[in-house]
Chains A and B, each alone.
Chain A
Amino acid sequence: DVQLVESGGGLVQPGGSLTLSCAASGFTFSGSWMGWVRQAPGKGLEWVANIKEDGSEKYFVKSVKGRFTISRDNAKNSLSLQMNSLRAEDTAVYYCARYFVSGTYTFDYWGRGTLVTVSS
């Protein structure tokens, strides 16, 4: 079975940093685009970032460009999101998801999410 398990969420002060991790299993991680999607409390879904299979292409939503970095370790089946200069508006549940590009261009598998709270 496909499993995506996020970790690393928590409470952080404005201006602080946090790194989220996602452990993947049950599919060929090295052959899959991956991404992060977030959801602020009581709000809708917002795409955050995607990374290509080999890490050669990365894309970000405008609001996090220059502050967030996405990376992957295909040897460890692991995806990361490094978040710097965090703001209150970054408070959300962050989901790790596989972005399937073969005829779908959407997220077919999702983790359960990890909550990031930015507050003093």
Chain B
Amino acid sequence: DIQMTQTPSSVSASVGDRVTITCRASQDLNSWLAWFQQKPGKAPKLLIYAASSLQSGVPSRFSGSGSGTDFTLTISSLQPEDCGNYYCQQGKSFPLTFGGGTKVEIK
């Protein structure tokens, strides 16, 4: 099984700050890596697919990069509505696996 290690587990930043979340896979994923945002009591929302492609309707301040085993989600200018939990997910092989999550808070 492919293990997904996501860091940090939580981050507190000010409005306008740049926030970076990292996901490391135990095996080469090519680029089959997605990022999700989840707010309390809501379903996850797809932000980025194929490592760097922005899902339709997602603000351009979100971006993804990386390939192989190391991937990054960047929020270029943190906004209050960006608070929530973020998860990476590998689509390279079954069983599909998610990272442990990162909680993003406003300082």
The answer to whether A104 and B50 touch across the interface, beta carbons within 8 angstroms, is yes
Known contacts A45-B36, A104-B49, A106-B34; decide if A62 and B100 are in contact (CB<8 Å): no
Please name 16 further chain A to chain B contacts, defined as beta carbons within 8 Å, in addition to the given A47-B96, A59-B95, sorted by A numbering.
A37-B44, A44-B101, A45-B36, A45-B101, A47-B98, A62-B1, A62-B95, A95-B43, A100-B49, A104-B53, A105-B34, A106-B32, A106-B34, A106-B49, A110-B44, A110-B45
Instruction: Let me know if A11 is at the binding interface, CB within 8 A.
Output: no
Most buried by B among A45, A46, A61, A107: A45
Would you give the shortest CB distance from A46 to chain B, in whole angstroms?
A: 7
Q: What's the dominant secondary structure at chain A's contact region? A: strand
Would you give the shortest CB distance from A58 to chain B, in whole angstroms?
A: 10
Set of chain A residues within 8 Å of B67, measured between Cβ atoms: none
Of the four ranges (under 10, 10 to 19, 20 to 34, 35 or more), the interface on chain A belongs to: 20 to 34
Which listed residue (B85, B91, B99, B101) contacts A106, Cβ 8 A? B91
Sampled A-B contacts (28; CB under 8 Å): A35-B96, A44-B85, A44-B87, A44-B98, A44-B99, A44-B101, A45-B87, A45-B98, A45-B101, A46-B98, A47-B89, A47-B97, A50-B94, A59-B94, A60-B95, A61-B95, A62-B1, A95-B43, A103-B49, A104-B34, A105-B91, A105-B92, A106-B32, A106-B46, A106-B89, A107-B46, A110-B45, A112-B43
